[in-house]
Structure 1
Amino acid sequence: MPITPRGLGLGVGGVLLALAGIRFGYPELVVVGATALVAIGCALTYGVWRPRLEVDRSVDPDRVGRGEGSHVVLTVRNSSRLLAASLVAEDSCGRLGADGQTVHDKVAVAVPVLRLRAGATMDVGYPVPTGRRGVIQVGPLRVTRRDPLGLLSLGRDHGGSASIWVHPRIHPLQAVPAGVSRSMDGRIDRVPHGSITFDTLREYVMGDELRHVHWRTSAKVGELMVREHLDTSLPRIVVLLDDRAESWTAPAEPDGEIAAFEGACEAAASVIAAAVREDLPVVLHTVGGRAVAGHRGSAQPQLDALAEVAPSATADESDTVDSRLANAANRLRQHRPGDTLVYLTGIGGVADLGLVGALRGAFATVVTGILGPIGPDEPQPGGAGMLFLRAEDGVEFAAEWEGVGRW
C-alpha cells in the first residue's frame, strides 16, 4: 500500500474534520480538514514523478568457494532528460531455497544514488557474504520515494537479479580410486571416450562419423543407427550423497546449518575435484533422485548441484525413509554408471547401510563415508566388501581418505 500510516491517519482525520465543520457550522474545521487533504494531494503529485533509471548488474565471480570473495557492481544511469536523481535505493540479497523460488535470510543493502544528473552514470559496488554454502540471489534494485512529510511511500524495482553459487570447501585429495578397468598400457591411458568397447546402438546425429554407422540395423529400422562405444580403460566414479533429512540427526546450528551435512557436501566436492583433476569420469547422484555428470575437465555442474542441495524430508506420508534409498540403489544397480561407489551419509543413515552393501555386485569398490559427531562408545560399522570412513567433518574425511593404503 503506497500510503503510510501517517498519511492514512491524516486523510481520515481531514475528512472527519471537514465533515464535522460542515455539519456543525465551523469553517475553521473545514479549513483544517481541507488543508490535510491538500497535503495528501501534494504527496500524490510528488510521488507521480519517478526517476527513470537503467540498472545493469555484474557479479565477479558468480561461482566461489565457501568463504571466498564475490563482488556486485551496479551501473546506474539516469535516463531522464531534465531532472536529476538523488535517492537511496536498496538491493536485496538472500539465499534461494530448495524450490528455487523462496528467498531466505533476505537482507537489504543500501545503495546511495546522490546527485545523479540527467544522462549521467555511476557505479556502486558492495561485497556479497559467502560464509554459507548455497545459491545467493542479489537484486532487483528497489527504489523507494517518500514525500517530505512522510505521507506516501512508493517503491519500484529496477534491473534484474543475478545468482551466485557458493560451493562447498574442497579439501585436496591425492589418492583417487583406480577401479577395476585396465588398459594394456596401465591404469589410465588417456584414450578418448567412445573408441574402445561397443555399448549400444543409437540414432544418428549431426557430427557422427559415418564409419560408426551400423548399416544392417539402419536398413531394418529405416533410419541411420550409430554404434556407441565406451572407453573402459578409465575408471568411473559415482558419488551418492544422502540428502534425506532423517539421516542427519545432529542438531542444526543457530543459523539453521547442519554441520554434518555440510561436511558431507565438502567430502563429495573433494572427491569430485580429485577425479576431475585426474581426468576421470565422475557423476554425482543424490538419494532424492538427482544425477549430474560433469563436463570434460570441469566439475562446475556438480559443484553447482552441491551448492543447491539441502536435506529434505519425505514428501509423501505413505513413503518410508528407506524407500528413497532403495529406489536410488535400484537405479544404480540397473544403469551401473561406474565401478567405484562413494556413499556419503549421516549417523541417522547407518541403519540403511544394508541397501548400499547390496550394490557390492554392481560396483567393484564401495566406499561409505559416515559424517557426524563421534561418540565415545560408538560401535564401528561393518559390512562385507565395503570400506568405511568415519569422520566428523570434511577435513577429517579427507584425512581418512588419504589414510587408505590402496584403492
Structure 2
Amino acid sequence: MPHRRTLTLRGTGALLSGLGCLVAANMVGAPILLYIGVLLLALTAFSVLVVRVPRRAGTVTRQISTDLLTVSETSRVTLRFTLRALRVPRGLWRDVLPPAVTGDSAGEYPSETGQLSYLITGVRRGVWPIGPLVLRTVDPFGLAQREQAFGETRSVTVVPEVFTLAPLTVKIGAAGGTAHTSSSRLGQGSDNLSPRRYIPGDSMRRIHWRATAHRGQLMVRQEEEESSPDALVILDRSAARWARPGDDEDRAFETAVSMCASVAVHLVQEGYGVDVIDSSGTLLGTLRGHEDDRDGLLVALALVGPRGDARDIMTLVGGTPPGPLVYITGEIDEEDAALLRPSGAAAPMLFATAPQRGAAAAAEQHGWRFARLGDDVAEAWEDVLPDRIGGPAEQRGATDVTS
C-alpha cells in the first residue's frame, strides 16, 4: 500500500514560499518578507504537529454478507471501526481492495450512520485479502495530512460463476441419475460399515463394541456396498493446453473452470452423484447433493491453475465407466483428440476452448459429442445434449453442403 506524503500540495507550496521569502528578504532587505516567510514556515510546522502528534489506536472487524463471492456477484462488506483517540478526527476512510475485487470502499469519517459499509463485486476467482482500513486526516489549513492503517486484512474467496444449464431430457445410463452403480468392494476400511441390532446366529467377532456401549444393546457390524459415481467431470488443466501470459488472466481457462463448476452442479441437480477431478487424477470435489459439497468444490476450483501433464482417460475413469463423462480442455489438435477415448462411458461429452482443424471430427469418430467452448457456457452445453437435433456434426455437414 503506497503511503502519502505528510505535506499536501498546498503544504508543499507554503513551505517553498516560506523559504523563498526568507531568501528574498536577505537579498532585498525587506523585513516584511522575513515576517511572511517565518509565518509560513511556522504554520506549516504547526500543521504537521497537529496531524502527527495525536496518538490513535483502533480495532476493525469486517463482515461480508456472503461466505463465497461468485465472479460478477455483488456482496456487502460491513465494518465496525472503534477508534481510540483524544478527539474524533474528521477525514476520509478507505478499505484497501485487491485488483480482483471492485467496489467503492471509501467515505467520510465519521459517517452519519455511524457504520461503514460498501459493496464489492468479484472480478477474478481466487483468495484475496481485503484491508487494512486506512484513515486519512488533514489539518484545518489543508497543509499536512496523515494516513494511518488500522486492523488486519480479511480474506475473501471469489469462486467461479455457475451458469444455469439446460436439463437432460433423458436420463443417461442404467442408473438414470437416481442411484449409484454398485461396486463389489466389501469390508474395506470403516466408511462402509454400519451397525445393526444383534440377531441370534451372528458371529461374536462382528460385534460393534462402540455402538453397543452407545445404544445399550448388542450391535454388530453390517457391511454395505460402496458406490462409484454416476457422473465424472474432468478438468484438463495440463500446462500444454493453456496460454500462460505472465500473471495475466487467461480468459479461456476461466471459462473452462466456470464450465466445470456449472456442469458438476447441474448434474447433481439432475440426480447424479458427481466426482470432479483434474487431468492428473487429483480429486477436486465430490457432489452428493449436500450444500457443503458444492461449496467445497467451488473453493477448490477457485484455486486451480494450469499445471502438470494429463494422464490417460482410461486410468482416470478406472474400472467402472460412468454415465455422463464430461471432459473440458483447452487447445487441442486432431492428434490429441484421436488419443482421447471415452473409456466406455454412456454419454461422453468433450469441450475444448481452442480446437484446431480436424479435432472435432477425430473426437466424434471415437464417440464423443463435441462442442467448442466459447464465452457462452450454456450454449456449448446445449450443443452436446444427447437428444439435441441438429447438433454440431449435423450443422457442420449442412455448412459443407451449402459451401
Bigger CA radius of gyration: 2
Structure 2 vs 1, CA of residues 126 and 3 (structure 1 numbering), >3 Å: closer, same or farther? closer
Instruction: Give the Cα separation in 2 of the matches to 1:88 and 1:208.
Output: 61
Unaligned runs of 5+ in 2: 196-204, 209-222, 389-403
Match of 2:235 in 1: 240
**C-alpha spacing 1:273/1:107, structure 2 compared with 1 (3 Å):** closer
Per the TM alignment, residue 390 of structure 1 is displaced from its structure 2 partner at its CA by 0.9
Match of 2:60 in 1: 55
1:25-40 map, 5 Å: 28-40=32-44
**Alignment CA distance shift 1:139-1:338 (3 Å):** farther
1:60, distance to aligned residue in structure 2 (A): 0.9
Deviations 1:134-167 (A, max 9, x none): 6565433211122233333321222333414243
1:265 Cα deviation (Å)?
Answer: 2.9
- Partners in 1 of 2:228 and 2:250 — Cα distance? 41
Flag the 1:104–1:64 CA change in 2: closer, same or farther, 3 A: closer
Show the 5 A alignment for 1:190-269: 197-198=185-186, 231-232=226-227, 234-235=229-230, 237-242=232-237, 244=239, 247=242, 258=251, 260-269=252-261
Distance 1:382 1:335 in 2: 18
CA contact (8 A) 1:86 1:115 kept: no
Give distance in 2, aligned partners of 1:141 and 1:352: 54
The answer to whether residue 337 in structure 2 is matched with residue 360 in structure 1 is no
CA contact (8 A) 2:59 2:83 kept: yes
Which residue of 1 is the match for residue 79 of structure 2? 74
Question: Residues of 1 paired with 2:354 and 2:274: CA distance?
Answer: 25
Identity of aligned residues (%): 22
Distance 1:289 1:151 in 2: 62
Residue 350 of structure 1 corresponds to: 333
Structure 1 pair 124/107, CA: closer, same or farther in 2 (3 Å)? closer
2:105 maps to 109
Q: Alignment partner of 1:299: what SS? A: helix
Structure 1 residues 31 and 272: alpha-carbon distance in aligned structure 2, compared to 1, 3 A threshold = same
TM-score by length of 2: 0.65
* Cα offset, 1:89, TM superposition: 0.8
Q: Secondary structure at the match of 1:329?
A: coil
Cα gap change, 1:141 to 1:179, in 2 (>3 Å): farther
* C-alpha separation in 2, matches of 1:350 and 1:5: 59
Q: CA deviation at 1:394?
A: 0.7
Match of 2:48 in 1: 44
Which consecutive residues of structure 1, in runs of 5 or more, have no partner in the other structure? Answer: 95-102, 214-227, 315-323
CA distance in 2, matches of 1:382, 1:190: 28
Seen in structure 2, the aligned counterparts of structure 1 residues 115 and 187 have a Cα distance that, compared at 3 Å, is closer
Asked if residue 387 in structure 1 is aligned to residue 368 in structure 2, the reply is yes
Q: Tell me whether 1:165 sits opposite 2:158 in the alignment.
A: yes
39 and 232 in structure 1: CA distance in 2 versus 1, 3 angstrom threshold:
same
- Give the Å deviation of 1:74: 1.9
Identify if the C-alpha distance between structure 1 residues 332 and 373 changes in structure 2 by more than 3 Å, giving closer, same or farther.
closer
Alignment partner of 1:397 is 2:380: yes
Shift of 1:83: 1.9
* Distance in 2, Cα, partners of 1:272 & 1:129: 24
Q: Secondary structure at the match of 1:300?
A: helix
Note closer, same or farther for the CA distance 1:135–1:212 as it changes in structure 2 (3 Å cut): farther
Instruction: Report if the CA contact (8 A) 1:92-1:108 is conserved.
Output: no
> Residue type of the partner of 1:110?
A
Decide whether aligned partners of structure 1 residues 401 and 383 sit closer, same or farther in structure 2, where only a CA change above 3 A counts.
closer
Q: Counterparts of 2:142 and 2:314 in 1: how far apart (Å)?
A: 62
Aligned-pair CA distance for 1:236: 5.0
Which residue of structure 2 aligns with residue 174 of structure 1? 167
Instruction: Measure how far apart 1:171 and its partner are.
Output: 1.9
Contact 2:102 2:121 in 1 (8 A): no
Give the residue type in structure 2 aligned to 1:369: F
C-alpha contact 1:90 1:141 (8 A) present in aligned 2:
yes
Match of 1:306 in 2: 301
Task: Using the TM superposition, give the Cα deviation of residue 76 of structure 1 relative to its aligned residue in structure 2, in angstroms.
Answer: 2.9
Structure 1 residues 153 and 369, CA gap change in structure 2 (3 angstroms): same
Superposition map of 1:114-193 within 5 A:
114=110, 122-130=114-122, 137-159=129-151, 160-175=153-168, 189=179
The separation in 2 between residues aligned to 1:264 and 1:212, in whole angstroms, is 50
CA contact (8 A) 2:264 2:274 kept: yes
The alpha-carbon distance between structure 1 residues 112 and 66, as it changes in their structure 2 partners (threshold 3 A), is: same
Q: How many residues align?
A: 350
For the structure 1 residues 335 and 17, does the alpha-carbon distance in structure 2 shift closer, same or farther, using more than 3 Å as the test?
farther
Whether 1:333 aligns to 2:329 is no
Query: What amino acid maps onto 2:301 in structure 1?
Result: L
Deviations 1:270-322 (A, max 9, x none): 22113433565434334588642236522112222334445x5x8xxxxxxxx
Q: Distance in 2 between matches of 1:167 and 1:400?
A: 22
Q: Which residue of structure 2 lines up, in the alignment, with residue 3 of structure 1?
A: 6
Mapped contact 2:334–2:359 kept (Cα < 8 A): no
* Alignment partner, residue 99 of structure 1: none
3-state secondary structure, aligned to 1:360: coil
> Using a 3 Å threshold, how does the CA distance of structure 1 residues 123 and 366 change in structure 2: closer, same or farther?
same
Contact 2:92-2:135 within 8 A present in 1 as well: yes
Structure with the larger RCO, 1 or 2 (CA within 8 Å, 6+ apart): 1
| Distance of aligned partners of 1:271 and 1:286 in 2 relative to their CA distance in 1, 3 Å threshold | same
